[in-house]
Amino acid sequence: MAPGEKIKAKIKKNLPVTGPQAPTIKELMRWYCLNTNTHGCRRIVVSRGRLRRLLWIGFTLTAVALILWQCALLVFSFYTVSVSIKVHFRKLDFPAVTICNINPYKYSAVRNLLADLEQETREALKSLYGFPESRRRREAESWSSVLEGMQPRFSDRIPLLIFDQYEKGKARDFFTGRKRKVDGRIIHKASNVMHIESKQVVGFQLCSNDTSNCATYTFSSGINAIQEWYKLHYMNIMAQVPLEKKINMSYSAEELLVTCFFDGVSCDARNFTLFHHPMHGNCYTFNNRENETILSTSMGGSEYGLQVILYINEEEYNPFLVSSTGAKVIIHRQDEYPFVEDVGTEIETAMVTSIGMHLTESFKLSEPYSQCTEDGSDVPIRNIYNAAYSLQICLHSCFQTKMVEKCGCAQYSQPLPPAANYCNYQQHPNWMYCYYQLHRAFVQEELGCQSVCKEACSFKEWTLTTSLAQWPSVVSEKWLLPVLTWDQGRQINKKLNKTDLAKLLIFYKDLNQRSIMESPANSIEMLLSNFGGQLGLWMSCSVVCVIEIIEVFFIDFFSIIARRQWQKAKEWWARKQAPPCPEAPRSPQGQDNPALDIDNDLPTFNSALHLPPALGTQVPGTPPPKYNTLRLERAFSNQLTDTQMLDEL
């Protein structure tokens, strides 16, 4: 080794190794405390006295805890939002308005399809309430007279039953009058409990395919029970009718709309778009997205909104399907599906209904601030509606998809999923039991739809203020009704009366649009600035100090541990690979010498001469000659020869 390398190795061996190359964690921590810019850590090392050192340790740990607490609060506040409300005064787009008659189809057009069902419904009312006979006469008549001339078809599939409080587990059939045993659960629809409290209630029983599982649904009122029973059979019948035929059986736009005005300009049926709803028949949408331009209004007030007079035609109402008269109106966006049954506003006949609107537009922040969705693309539910995403669309799509999976068919009141058919008991005999069980699970949030569906991040909402007034007045109806009858003479052949008409006014109360917008409470820049303020306040740190902490405590700390473990692994491997050391031969002991077995006394000089030599020993011989002495003697003899020659001369 060169002299320079020797000096360098000696200096390196004698000087202490510090910093990231320190061999132990203790030396690394000491090096960090002496060289860091955070004053607390340095004072822990350089302070004299145990008390001062303990105080500085306490101060430093307290400061670190406060920093962590404040930074955690800053992180949590970063995911909060601030809400700002802005009010704009400008020209507003008019929303889409969908109008439906409460009665879906003309009674004269569907009477032939529903004749058997209505006959059994009337007989059920007669047997239960004695229409038109008195109750005393009904009690005297036998149940067999009720069944003369007819064979109940619908009651065989879903029997109507009368339950008595004093006869548990038994019920009386509407048509046969015989008592039958009721198995399975009894679900009281009125209060959603599993027992019956009233003395006598009406209901019906639904069973699965193998009739092993049954559920009986009871109602506190016979009206609700019969209407629900009628509605189930009605959906089953109408599900088998082609769509084109159902459109022809419902109301046309010319029949429904008598007069129309918008923003002071006359309009007619051509400004409305047909929308067929399974449970409400033909509905018509004003200012739909299919129009070339979206209409807007320039002023607030009833004079600048939509004004229509509707022909309700009460004579064509189905007496068992609907029990009220009027129409339903839904105000929605142009790309939004009109949920008539969920959010529809009912309009009374012989009244003018004024609906004032206030527009509110909301914008929410998506993740990580909330669980809303922009367009529904991140929701694992297929949208079966031809409309923009909304929470209602997701829930209904989820239920309809589950309906197809569990029951094998789709529920009639919602759109059809791809490659699915509406339920009817010709193809699916027990779909009603499956539907009721699935709907009950949906309401109790057992299907998982409520947890999967998300709210839309942006939406428009119209706050409605409704007011009513009698229309037409007693004075004006004398001339108004004859004029409207003349206008509708091409569509109807009867004289109009006030109960056949309804007037509707929809308008903006003012042109103030309220916008509710969410924005992050903190930005990234503000969050970093707050972090720096906390570090500087409690530890006098900067970003460089944070990087230094990361380097020492996360890189150097683990590198020392890794080096130590690697060294232990190398030593273990070296010991495993090294050959085993041979055992040293056993040295003979005194008792192993056979000569000593003669006598236990110590050997004498003569006996010691007869002892055998020790193993592995050499007998000393003649020592080697001293060659240096030989050389000297040779040199001395030569010197003598030279002396003799001189003497001779």
pLDDT tens-place string over residues 311-350: 998 889 998 898 889 999 999 999 999 998 888 899 999 9
pLDDT at 588: 54
Specify whether 399 is located in the same domain as 350. yes
Average pLDDT, integer, range 301-305: 88
pLDDT at 596: 47
Specify whether 397 is located in the same domain as 277. yes
pLDDT at 332: 93
Residue 573 phi/psi, 5-degree rounding, is: -70, -40
Q: How confident is the model at residue 639 (pLDDT cuts 50, 70, 90)?
A: very low
CB of 93 within 8 A of CB of 298?
no
Say yes or no to pLDDT of 276 above 80: yes
Q: How confident is the model at residue 489 (pLDDT cuts 50, 70, 90)?
A: low
Specify whether 177 is located in the same domain as 260. no
Per-residue model confidence as pLDDT tens digits over 164-204: 766 666 777 766 667 766 665 666 554 443 344 445 678 77
pLDDT at 163: 74
pLDDT at 645: 45
Query: How wide is the angle at C-alpha 21 spanned by C-alphas 16 and 25, nearest 5°?
Result: 85
Say yes or no to pLDDT of 644 above 90: no
pLDDT at 465: 92
pLDDT at 595: 47
Specify whether 464 is located in the same domain as 536. no
Give the chain's mean pLDDT.
77
More confident residue, 95 or 65: 95
Tell me whether residue 103 is in a domain: no
Tokens 């030593």 correspond to what residue?
A: 571
More confident residue, 584 or 356: 356
The string of DSSP letters for 396-459 reads HHHHHHHHHHHHSSB-TTSPPPTT--B--TTTSTTHHHHHHHHHHHHHTT-SSHHHH---BSEE
Tell me whether residue 43 is in a domain: yes
Tell me whether residue 628 is in a domain: no
Specify whether 368 is located in the same domain as 268. yes
Tell me whether residue 621 is in a domain: no
**Report for 76-80, 346-350, 537-541: range of highest mean pLDDT:** 346-350
Average pLDDT, integer, range 114-134: 75
Domain stop point among 213, 240, 267? 240
pLDDT at 531: 73
pLDDT at 142: 39
Q: Per mean pLDDT, which range of 238-242, 373-377, 492-496 is the poorest?
A: 492-496
Specify whether 258 is located in the same domain as 227. no
Q: How confident is the model at residue 641 (pLDDT cuts 50, 70, 90)?
A: very low
Give the CATH number for residue 422: 2.60.470.10
Closest CA to 290 of 250, 334, 251, 324: 334
Domain stop point among 460, 492, 518? 518
Say yes or no to pLDDT of 2 above 90: no
CB of 457 within 8 A of CB of 366?
yes
Say yes or no to pLDDT of 6 above 90: no
Q: Which domain holds residue 387?
A: 88-96+251-518
CB of 514 within 8 A of CB of 358?
yes
Tokens 């055998």 correspond to what residue?
A: 612
Per-residue model confidence as pLDDT tens digits over 42-76: 667 777 778 877 887 887 788 788 878 877 877 77
Tell me whether residue 375 is in a domain: yes
Per-residue model confidence as pLDDT tens digits over 379-437: 999 999 988 999 999 999 999 999 999 988 998 988 888 888 998 888 888 888 888 88
Specify whether 382 is located in the same domain as 316. yes
Query: How wide is the angle at C-alpha 279 spanned by C-alphas 274 and 284, nearest 5°?
Result: 20
Prediction pTM value: 0.69
Query: What are the residues whose beta carbons fall under 8 Å from the beta carbon of 212, sequence distance 6 or more?
Result: none
Specify whether 71 is located in the same domain as 197. no
| Strand duo 214-219 + 185-188: pairing | parallel
State how many domains the chain has: 3
**Report for 224-228, 308-312, 542-546: range of highest mean pLDDT:** 308-312
Specify whether 164 is located in the same domain as 224. yes
Specify whether 453 is located in the same domain as 552. no
pLDDT at 151: 47
Specify whether 122 is located in the same domain as 174. yes
Say yes or no to pLDDT of 144 above 90: no
Tell me whether residue 220 is in a domain: yes
pLDDT at 131: 60
Say yes or no to pLDDT of 96 above 90: yes
Specify whether 211 is located in the same domain as 327. no
pLDDT at 134: 41
Tell me whether residue 599 is in a domain: no
Tell me whether residue 385 is in a domain: yes
The string of DSSP letters for 609-620 reads HTSPPPTT----
Say yes or no to pLDDT of 8 above 60: no
pLDDT at 593: 52
DSSP 8-state assignment for residue 622: P
Say yes or no to pLDDT of 372 above 70: yes
Q: What percent of the chain has pLDDT over 70?
A: 70
540: tokens are: 């006098």
Q: Per mean pLDDT, which range of 85-89, 104-108, 380-384, 392-396 is the poorest?
A: 85-89
CB of 204 within 8 A of CB of 169?
no
Domain stop point among 505, 535, 558? 558
Coil/strand/helix, residue 256: helix
pLDDT at 548: 67
pLDDT at 176: 65
pLDDT at 186: 63
More confident residue, 186 or 114: 114
pLDDT at 585: 59
Average pLDDT, integer, range 469-475: 90
Dihedral (CA of 272, 275, 277, 282) sign: positive
